[in-house]
Amino acid sequence: MAQNNWFNPEYLSEEKVKKLQATFAGNRPFPHLELAHFLKGKKIVELLQALGEQEFSPHRSDLFQFAQTADLLYTDDQVLKEFISVLSSPELLGFMKKVTDLKLNGKIDLFASIYQDTDYLLPHDDQVPGRKIAFMLYLNDLEEKDGGALALFESKNKNPTKIAKRFILKAGAFIFFEVSSLSIHMVEEILTDTQRITLSGWFYG
Amino acid sequence: MVNMMSVLNPIYLKEETKQKVRKSFLHSAQSDFPAVLLKDFFNKNFYEELQKKVSSLHFTKNTVVLHHSYAASSFKIFSKELCDFLSFVTKKKIEEVNFTVLVLTWKDYQILNDKYLEKPGTDIVIDLTDAWDADWGGVVTYTDGKGTAYPLAPAGNSLALVERKKNLHKYIQYINHYGKNKKRMVLIATLW
């Protein structure tokens, strides 16, 4: 299966999927999962090389400041096309459906983002009709001092109150969560002269 | 609250200047961003007194994660000179102005949220922060919802009047780590 060329097969066995399903559903502050070393090292290098040829435009609003590509579904790059094909394959969709117990229709969005010194994404829930799962694939390592952590908020009476969990960027990690009114999250500000490079998007259903 | 006789920079008391400001503000009504920014607005002594008084207010840290993070207080300015000037420029009868005072530091912000949208009005924004670098964030910014942003250039001792029409909303840019250990202080009021 093509996905075995890209993703760590350890995560894809039936037995493992059952465990992940329980972990995803039970994780707080809202259902989510972090799969370390999900993306194979060789593929990280290939993706980074492919993204080096893509155009990143600065994006700035009240909510965010970072650089992003256009929707990669329309790219001509062969590596990225293959990656999208694997990401939206029946095998990976089946994996995501089993782990999250959510109905997915095969539609995905995919963007690459680069956050540099002072870039950020303030708290929001990602809710747009049809979005079921938000995901991020990390393509480089950061340390705590660099900032750029993904932070998940806990909520009280449907109002986010404080950060409950943080994830420091580690190359190859795959993080995803169920999109809902509770899925409040942010990307903390980058604090050093470094880059935070990710592929991110949504599975629709 | 502050009530002193000499409030405005004398230049803004001149009939010619007042007429110019009013014309500029009223003419801007047809533009995408109807606003005037008046620099060196207050008399220097009044400005320094205002900074002191506002700094000594009791501030409450106020965070609504999906809308804002800042410390806030309230402050009234009873100044006939100021009210007469604002009444003349805006053509609205103004006898006192109730300001919300916002103090923002590193990681503070105000973002747009449908639950907190304000109805149209005339905003008065007084900047009490000297030597603030816009690259640190904290800039009061207006947006038309179509992706165009209209930032108010930070300038201590400035007063901005913004005719906030329907679909024009304001936010305050996130303050980044270069603004660490610094304070951004603004007074904001809306005339309905």
**Structural domains of chain B in order of their starting residue, each with its CATH number:** 10-191 (2.60.120.620)
Say whether B66 and A184 touch across the interface (CB within 8 A). Answer: yes
**A21-70: per-residue pLDDT in tens?**
999 999 999 999 999 999 999 999 999 999 999 999 999 999 999 999 99
CA-based nearest residue in chain B for residue A65: B174
**Treating both helix axes as pointing N-terminal to C-terminal, what angle do A14-26 and A90-100 enclose, rounded to 10 degrees?**
50
Query: What separation in angstroms does the CA of B124 have from each of B6, B7, B68, B127, B162?
Result: 20, 16, 19, 10, 7
- Of the residues B174, B175, B178, B180, the best mutation for testing chain A's interface (the one with the most A CB atoms within 10 Å of its CB) is B174
* Domain boundaries, position A65: 2-204
Is the model's pLDDT at B1 over the cut of 60? no
pLDDT at A1: 58
CA distances (Å), B157 to each of B8, B129, B174, in order? 10, 8, 22
pLDDT band at A4 (very low <50, low <70, confident <90, very high): confident
Q: What is residue B101's predicted lDDT score, i.e. its pLDDT? A: 98
Q: How many domains does chain A have?
A: 1
User: How many residues in chain B?
Assistant: 192
**Domain CATH number, residue A53:** 2.60.120.620
Q: Determine whether the interchain pair B107/A189 forms a contact, defined as Cβ–Cβ distance below 8 Å.
A: yes
Average pLDDT of chain B to the nearest whole number? 94
Of B65, B141, B143, the CB nearest to A160: B65
Mean pLDDT, rounded, for B11-18: 96
Which of A65, A122, A191 lies nearest to residue B111, judging by beta carbons?
A: A122
Counting Cβ atoms within 10 Å, is residue A55 exposed (0-12), middle (13-18) or buried (19+)? exposed
